[in-house]
Structure 1
Amino acid sequence: MEYFAKSVPNGGSKEEQVTLKQHLDDTVKCAQDFFEKFGHYFTEKEKAIIIEACRVHDLGKANIVFQSKINKELDVIKTQEIPHGFLSAMTTSPEEFKNHIPEADNDDYKAFYTAVYHHHVREDKNGDDIILNFCKKYYNPYIRDFLNDESIKAKVSGINKYLLFRNTGSISGSKYIMSCYDKNEYLHEWQEFVLIKGLLNKFDYTVSAGYTEAEDCSAFTTKYLKTSIENIFQQHGLRPVQEYMRDKCDKNLVVVAPTGMGKTEASLLWLNGEKGFYTLPYVVSSNAIYERIRDRYEYKDVAILHSDSMHYYFEDQVNETDSDGYEKYQKAKLLSQPLTICTVDQLFKFVYKALGTEIFAATLKYSKIIIDEIQAYSPSVIAAIIYGLKIVTDMGGKFAIITATFPPVLGSLMHKYGLMADNQYEYRDFSALSDLKRHWIDIKDGDIEIDRVVEDSYDKKVLVICNTVKKAQQIYKSLTEKTDNVHLLHARFTKEHKRMLENEIIKFSDSENETGIWVTTQLVEASLDIDFDVLYTEMSTADSLLQRMGRCNRKGRYIPDKANIHIYNNANGVGVSRAIYNREIYTCSVECLEKYIGRVMTESDKSEYINKVYCTDEIKDTDYYRDIEKFLAMFKELTPAEYSKSEADEKFRDINSIKIIPDNVYEDNREAISECIDIMHSSDADKREKNDARTKLDSYVISIQLYAYKKYPDGIDRDVIYGSDIHRSCIMYDFNVVDLTGAGLVLGEYERDIFV
């Protein structure tokens, strides 16, 4: 009898059957080829165990129930199936394992066994008697035939003996089976399991996607990106921070450098041609860095990965920037490019120890990871980064944190959880080396002064930053009553319109002669590379405020002799629960700012300011500090499979949201939307066509966060558009695609009187 593994893509749209033997051989070869290039990151034992996992991972597919589903020549057997990963693990034995890998011990076998058993995410609710009966009837005779070995059978009695944990689908049933572990032993065995399963998944996914190489290594020998940066800076020479990071490429680093000192290029030089991930707080900032690397340095082996990256690749393909956006997106998901620009949620979800997230930690073992502007994240994400970096360094990966400001409290928390300066990493602050004098601040109580903004806009580029979308829309409306030269950018535009606005604000910033006003939210703080003449901003916490200041006189085009940063202390968006800014830190930020009012604020002043506000002794009794500690403690105590991968995504992003399409957008694009939904559910469409349709459909969508509401906001359909996860909405949506003006989605205002 011939045994098959699955149907796999062949040239995109066609599919062909692949035999089980061929799939196993291809997966092993993929692993062996990988280790020829990356083997120096791994011990000989690690390599041998991972290859052995590849050799046996799909043996369980030899069961006749599975074969009857994919082999058209067999009659379908309708019975409860045991997941093939479970059967594969039970087919192995510790004796055979140690014969293949003499240096391995019982703990290694347990990690190996668990990785094979759980290499797909399946709930494990069957009793051992059910599994045993299935094996006797549907598996043992066929695995003997497949392996041509009459002595082979599944050993059900070993499940609880060798599994580190079982995925029962409930928290109480997912705890580690063995209770004798101390924390260090538990962590070591979990890390070994993560490495084996993560790389097994990587090689399996690669082969199943129709590729032969798990990593695109084209840039590793030439170090093209590093050479390109050095050539561009050759005329004036590298800056101090760039020389430092280039020369410390074998170290973990925390580097503080003001805007304009070239820290982005410094971090890319630190990569030194090795595999890397560059993480940023926002999708829009990821897009900007990606384009900068791809276009300025002509580096094509760079990928982008975030919640909207498929849409980004689709637009590039439409605009002929990229010839095959779908394939680049697939490779980005496989983490196979030499350099990937991404948001942290794409990598650090493994801290929740959810099955299916191991590939991220395993890939980071042989990679370098850059964390840009760590202070910009929420306490839960900061905790995930700190805990994740400790795991990655323990496994062998390297990190560099690059930031314009590094709150001392973060260094203290890193030290507390095992990442110590001068031990696990080197710390260097370059603020004192900057002679830029870019900012002069004043501060007032109350709301932003509309007339003052308008007057400045006659001969300047004026940026207005508000703490909430609601306030930004109010300011925008007031400004439009006095001038036509004003635009608005925030998160409540459709993806397509937001991308238009992002491109337009960059174009406006780069223009030498244009003047006018852009009203925005914190969306632009650490994302867009824009440079305005003057900033009007609501007061925020110190870290956020300094990021906002970086959008004004960014390149130090002039030394101000009067205020070019106008701050308004009105506590908008400040509170305790679900507020944008923590009240305690906000208050401290206001108090510590007084010293710098009425004069130029130097880069050293900014470091001094952030250090005062985020001094560990001053902040350790705040909710901000307690929240970070709470999440760090939680990550330490978590055991595998307490969370599912989807739950880890939700926890990491801390977003409870729904997707909507405003009625006027829906009516203008009704035919295109229906066509996209039809393609997504068509049996004739391949994965590429369905992904393109999903991406195009998402371009009409706005995500609405629900955590501020006890129920859906008024004006949103409770039912989704047929065949999708998107709701229609009669909430007012205002946007003019010709002149790129409008308020976006205005909560509380409606297109028609009767709510849907």
Structure 2
Amino acid sequence: MNYYAHSSDNPQKSWQPLVEHLTNTAELAGFFASKFNAKEFGFFCGMLHDLGKYSQEFQNKLHGQNLKVDHSTAGAQEAERNCGKLGKLMAYCIAGHHSGIPDYGTIADNGGTLSARLAKKIEEEYSAYKDEIELSFIKDLNALPVKAIGDFHGFTLSFFIRMVYSCLVDADFIDTEQYMSEKVKLRGHNASISELNDMFNNFLSKMGSSQTKINSKRKEILERCLSMAKKPTGLYSLTVPTGGGKTFSSLAFALNHAVQHNLERIVYVIPYTSIIEQNARVFKDALGDDHVLEHHSNYQFDLNHSEHIKTATEKLKLAAENWDIPIVVTTNVQFFESLFANRSSQCRKIHNLSKSVVIFDEAQMLPINFLKPCLLAVCELVKNYGSTAILCTATQPSIQDLLPSDIRPIEMMENSKQLYNDFKKVKVINKGNLEDEVLIDELNSLEQVLCIVNTRKHAKEIFSRLKGNAFHLSTLMCPVHRKETLAKIRKSLKNNESCKAVSTQLIEAGVDVDFPVVYRSMAGIDSIIQSAGRCNREGRLPVGNLFVFQPVSELAKIRGYLERTAKIAEMVLRRYDDPISLEAIDYYFQRLYDIEGEEAVDRKNILDCFEEKRMHLGFDFQTAAEKFRLIESNTYSIVIPYDDTAIELLNTALYSPYPRSLARKLQPYTISVYEYEYKTLMKNAALRVVNNSFIVLDDYKSNYSNNTGLILPKDTYGEGIFV
């Protein structure tokens, strides 16, 4: 009898033989895993993952019978039966290669936990595999190629399982795709890191810059990064003041370092989608669009172009599935939620983080409630997977105590304190309590000024009372709207025109604007420093002024973590003449971690999922994935029919049999609201549902302002903050 892995509309003789699929998947998974010295483990999983397809029931299913067949448990059981504890680790990968890596559970479970799967009596006979597969390769499965980081033995083992799982599911997807689709021909064929490094050096040589003191210092930072690129792989910190050119310098380090150590890709991780396009554009200008993948929720792959561009775009779309491309620009959310996910579609990319350079831009914005598991994941990549990680920031947080004792970041700059003094272009002035009337009078007295506040409600109120050429930015405006507004702000500043802007903190992280004066509502020192980066950015003035104030208005009330960080910042402002000096920053983060307590850096107890039952190799992957949400999901996405493109997409969605296929294209027109805001909007008949797929703003002219975005009913304007 012939056994097949997949069926198709073609004659049976063209179906893929099962032994061919198992062998192909095993060899490819082994190749992927060989990059972290785990070739045998990848091969092992590949050969066993579809063993259950040797049952007559599964073959009948391929021939059209409506049967539900569990084809993954058999391989998981064979793994444990033939290879004991090491096989049990691999059983997680095999059992979950479709449904996701399971929790450990107990043998009493009825569901899909690993314990239940391993104890399950398999009804279907699958022993026919013995006629085509010899399990003698299992004897090559030796000791694990990873070493525990600090005392986190369970985390190290679970991370290894996750990486091998990634190798398996990516190999499985690719081999199936090779049989099913012509698109597989578009995969790979990338420029080498060495070629990209040459392109980048050529780009830098052509960049013209005036001979100012600032540009001279930027050049020194770049040269220092290039010299550090020769150092071994590891964990590095790059503490460069705002405006010091760390985007170019960190990329220069990464490319040269990757060439030096034969690393395969560079992953640039950014805190917010609101700034990712700006950084990605810099990389694309330097290296070409075809070599840079933007992977975040707002990006859409536009296939409406010439055949050449369409092919290149399709290639990028495929690369987004597994990050098989030299340069990836992504977000904290996409990066870390993939590392802690358990579903195959999210996990298939993470094996490509081995032998990579990972750059964390604005590292101080790593989420504090998940900071410890995030840092441990970064340490795993560095210690066991041949990667280098760089923590880039103007405000290096005090994270030493959160790292394993055997891993310490190496600072790339020789004299960060001197650099800070060289780039000091802003004076911070504490104005204390400030009534809105006084604040607005001061803002209106200035020609060019930026005011950054903590709540959307406060931003809208201040904007409504500004005179002259005024602009508003908040996440009540859809991304396309915000992008247009930023372009107008930059144009006004460039033309030396009057320009008054009020924004929530979304403007802080990496948004390239340069105001002579900035006002900042009291917030954490890291936010205040980011605000300073929007003031006198290019050093055109002897000094720019950053006024920090404590708003008296009820509209500015903040609670929880933001309130606590603001109170610590007040302490810093009282204690230090220069509250954004390196000493002040260190004091701020030390106080923050002391006040928040150790439990704050793993608020959801993610590490317990991998440490509590480690002696039994019991890891709760599904539970960890459900807990690990950097953005809580008690929000609703609303599509704004902002322009003709959005309206056309919504009209297409209305009649499409697959409306969700348009979700990514509609993302730039989407905003998030809290549940209570959503309910009130629905109650007021301000929303409609399109084809059971999208919540859309109705009566655009009444419910959306071309200045401030979504108009929320007055009774919904709560304290919620989106940045």
TM-score of the aligned structures, taking structure 2 as reference length: 0.78
Distance 1:215 1:346, change over 3 A: farther
Matching residue of 1:173: none
For residue 85 of structure 1, the aligned residue among 45, 69, 72 is 72
Cα shift readout 1:47-98 (whole Å, capped 9, x = no counterpart): 12212322332233333444444x4xx34143x421x222233455765xxx
User: Residues 396-428 of structure 1, C-alpha deviation per residue, up to 9 Å, x if partnerless?
Assistant: 3221101001133x2332357x64356xx7786
Q: For residue 283 of structure 1, report the CA deviation from its aligned partner.
A: 0.6
Partner residue, 2:316 = 328
Q: Name the structure 2 match of 1:547.
A: 530
Judged with a 3 Å threshold, the aligned counterparts in structure 2 of structure 1 residues 555 and 729 are, in CA distance, closer, same or farther, namely same
| Cα distance in 1 between the residues matched to 2:416 and 2:580 | 13
* Structure 1 gap segments, 5+ residues each: 11-15, 96-104, 153-163, 165-181, 683-689, 752-756
Q: Does 1:203 align with 2:191?
A: no
User: Offset at 1:370?
Assistant: 0.9
2:414 is the counterpart of 1:420: no
Residue of structure 1 in register with 2:39 after alignment: 47
Task: Tell me the secondary structure at the aligned position of residue 463 of structure 1.
Answer: strand
Cα deviation, residue 218, structure 1:
2.0
Equivalence for 1:5:
5
Partner of 1:248: 228
SS at match of 2:707: strand
Answering whether residue 431 of structure 2 is matched by residue 441 of structure 1, we say no
| Alpha-carbon distance in structure 2 between the residues aligned to 1:710 and 1:625 | 37
Among candidates 297, 307, 326, match of residue 307 of structure 1: 297
Query: Could you report, residue by residue, the CA deviation over 1:595-630 in whole angstroms, capped at 9, with x for unpaired residues?
Result: 677xxx6xx95323212322x2x3444137651154
- 1:206 and 1:212 in contact (8 A); partners too: no
Checking the alignment, whether the CA contact within 8 Å between 1:383 and 1:631 is kept in structure 2 is no
Match of 2:586 in 1: 611
* 1:401 paired residue among 384, 388, 391: 391
Give the direction of change, closer, same or farther, for the CA distance of 1:548–1:207 in structure 2 (3 Å limit).
Answer: farther
2:21 alignment partner AA = H
Q: Which residue pairs with 2:105 in the alignment?
A: none
SS of 1:134 mapped into structure 2 = coil
Aligned to 2:450: 463
> Which runs of 5 or more residues in structure 2 are unaligned?
103-109, 136-143, 145-149, 179-183, 613-617, 717-723
Secondary structure at the aligned position of 2:408 is classed as: coil
Alignment-derived partner of residue 27 in structure 1 = 25
**1:430 is matched with which residue: 412, 416, 423?**
416
Matches of 1:592 and 1:334, distance apart in 2: 44
The secondary structure found in structure 2 opposite 1:293 is helix
Is 1:114 the counterpart of 2:92? The answer is yes
Give the residue type in structure 1 aligned to 2:342: A
Q: Distance in 2 between matches of 1:499 and 1:318?
A: 26
- The correspondence for 1:125, drawn from 111, 132, 135, is 111
> For residue 181 of structure 2, what is the aligned residue in structure 1?
none
2:656 to 679, 683, 693: 679
Structure-1 residue corresponding to 2:719: none
User: Given the superposition, is the C-alpha separation of residues 326 and 214 from structure 1 closer, same or farther in structure 2, using an over 3 Å criterion?
Assistant: closer
Q: What is the rounded CA distance, in whole Å, between the counterparts of 1:501 and 1:331 in structure 2? A: 31
Could you tell me which residue of structure 1 aligns to residue 546 of structure 2? 565
Aligned partner letter, 2:712: L
In structure 2, the partner of 1:472 is 459
Structure 2: how far apart are the matches of 1:401 and 1:8? 48
Whether the aligned pair in 2 keeps the contact of 1:374 and 1:401 (CA below 8 Å) is yes
SS of structure 1 residue aligned to 2:124:
helix
Q: Deviations over 1:195-224 (max 9, x none)?
A: 321211222233344426975552224234
Out of 613, 619, 623, the residue aligned to residue 640 of structure 1 is: 619
The answer (yes or no) to whether the contact 1:252–1:400 under 8 Å persists in 2 is yes
Q: Distance in 1 between matches of 2:309 and 2:517?
A: 34
- Pair 119,92 (structure 1): closer, same or farther in 2 beyond 3 Å: same
> 1:135: how far off?
1.8
The 2-side partners of 1:206 and 1:406 are apart by 40
Distance, in Å, in 1 between the alignment partners of 2:465 and 2:409 is 50
User: Partner of 2:139 in structure 1?
Assistant: none
Q: In the alignment, is residue 231 of structure 1 matched against residue 214 of structure 2? A: no
3-state SS in 1 of match to 2:637: strand
State whether residues 32 and 42 of structure 2, in contact with CA within 8 Å, keep that contact through their aligned partners in structure 1: no
Amino acid at match of 1:432: Q
The yes-or-no answer on 1:288 pairing with 2:278 is yes
- 2:691 aligned counterpart, secondary structure: coil
Q: What is the DSSP-based 3-state SS (H/G/I as helix, E as strand, rest coil) of the residue aligned with 1:207?
A: helix
**Counterpart residue number, 2:266:** 276
Mapping for residues 588-603 of structure 1, pairs under 5 Å: 588-594=568-574
Deviation at 1:524, TM superposition (A): 1.0
Give the AA of the match of 1:643: Q
| Residue 365 (1) aligns with residue 354 (2) | yes
Query: Are 2:337 and 1:349 aligned?
Result: yes
| Kept after mapping to 2: 8 A contact 1:8/1:208 | no
Distance 1:247 1:303, change over 3 A: same
Q: Distance in 2 between matches of 1:314 and 1:653?
A: 27
Secondary structure of 2:429's counterpart equals strand
Do structure 1's residue 340 and structure 2's residue 328 form an aligned pair? Answer: yes
Q: 1:307 to 1:645 in 2, by over 3 A?
A: farther
**CA 1:208–1:229: 2 relative to 1, 3 Å:** farther
1:494 maps to 478
Shift of 1:280: 0.9
3-state SS of 1:135 partner: coil
Task: Indicate if the aligned counterparts of 2:474 and 2:503 stay in contact, CA closer than 8 A.
Answer: yes
TM-superposed deviation, 1:341: 0.7
Q: Alpha carbons of 1:610 and 1:513: their partners in 2 closer, same or farther (altered >3 Å)?
A: same
Residues 472 and 605 of structure 1, relative CA distance in 2, 3 Å threshold: closer
The 3 A distance-change label for structure 1 pair 266 and 8 is farther
Determine if contact 2:321/2:349 at 8 Å carries over to the other structure: no
Equivalent residue, structure 2, for 1:742: 707
- For 2:596 and 2:682, locate their aligned partners in 1 and report how far apart those are by CA, in whole Å: 29
> Paired residues, what number?
653
Q: 1:654 to 1:332 in 2, by over 3 A?
A: same
Aligned in 2, Cα 1:573/1:626: closer, same or farther, shift over 3 Å? Answer: farther
Q: Measured at CA, do residues 110 and 427 of structure 1 come closer, stay the same or move farther in structure 2, by a change above 3 Å?
A: farther
Call closer, same or farther: CA 1:700–1:364 in 2, change over 3 Å: closer
Distance 1:368 1:710 in 2: 44
- Alignment check: 8 A CA contact 2:454 2:558 kept: no
Matched position secondary structure for 2:91: helix
Residues 733, 743 of structure 1: 8 Å contact kept: no
Amino acid at match of 1:748: P
Name the Cα RMSD after superposition.
Answer: 4.1
492-501 vs 395-404, which moves further: 492-501
Which segment drifts farther, 16-25 or 441-450? Answer: 16-25
What code does the residue aligned with 2:710 have? Answer: L
DSSP-derived class of the 1:239 partner: helix
Q: Are the counterparts in 2 of residues 355 and 644 from structure 1 also a CA contact under 8 Å? A: no
Query: 2:673 aligned with 1:704, yes or no?
Result: yes
Choose 539-548 or 328-337, whichever is displaced more. Answer: 328-337
Task: Single out whichever of 243-252 and 622-631 deviates more from structure 2.
Answer: 622-631
Separation in structure 1 between the aligned mates of residue 8 and residue 366 of structure 2, nearest angstrom: 40
Look up the match of 2:50. Answer: 58
For 1:517, the equivalent position in structure 2 comes to 500
User: What secondary structure sits across from 1:246 in the alignment?
Assistant: helix
**What does the per-residue CA deviation read over 1:618-674, in whole Å, with 9 as the maximum and x for residues that have no partner?**
34441376511545755664763453586256x222342112246x76999666414
Contact 1:372–1:402 (Cα < 8 Å) also in 2: yes
**More moved, 720-729 vs 110-119:** 720-729
**Secondary structure of residue in 1 paired with 2:268:** strand
Separation in 2 of the partners of 1:544 and 1:391? 29
- How far 1:305 moved relative to its partner? 1.1
